[in-house]
Amino acid sequence: MIPLLIGLAALVVGTLFGWDTRLLDAIVTPPALIRAVLTAAAVVVGVALLGRSVARIGEGRGDPAGEPNLPLMVRGVRLAFLAVAAFAAAAGWLLGHPLPIVIALVIAGVDVIETSFLLLVVRTRRS
């Protein structure tokens, strides 16, 4: 339930930031050094998330009983999409343009909402 609320919050925050031009400019185009740090941090986070995603999906496939661990695989897919969102945010700071950052928020928000529902379905199906 908490990831679902976080996903909804990401969509709401992204929408609110989009309406305030001054705030959007402050986030998207901070001084060059800060933009470089934000870009590098987003890339590092993206690579880490992608690595964890691959590991989780691999663990989900390797169930000793021969049946895939669907919740673990769904969480791995969630991490992959969050990595894509991190890379999109990095592109936004690198280019100094708000569109990739808005796309990152949408990817992250929709992904967390979608995978939360999918995890509920998988949990209900297994019960």
Q: Is residue 28 scored above 80 in pLDDT?
A: yes
Q: How far apart are CA 87 and CA 95, in angstroms?
A: 12
Helix, strand, coil percent content, the chain, rounded in steps of 5:
85, 0, 15
Q: How far apart are CA 84 and CA 119, in angstroms?
A: 20
Predicted pLDDT at 63: 66
Predicted pLDDT at 126: 65
Predicted pLDDT at 115: 86
For 116, the domain range is 2-126
Structure tokens, 15: 């929408």
77: CB partners within 8 A, 6+ apart: 53, 57, 115
Q: Is residue 119 scored above 80 in pLDDT?
A: yes
Q: How confident is the model at residue 40 (pLDDT cuts 50, 70, 90)?
A: very high
Q: Is residue 43 scored above 70 in pLDDT?
A: yes
Q: How confident is the model at residue 88 (pLDDT cuts 50, 70, 90)?
A: very high
The total domain count for the chain is: 1
pTM for the full predicted model: 0.84
Backbone angles phi, psi at 42, to 5 degrees: -65, -40
Q: Is residue 50 scored above 90 in pLDDT?
A: yes
20-27 mean pLDDT: 81
Predicted pLDDT at 60: 82
Predicted pLDDT at 21: 80
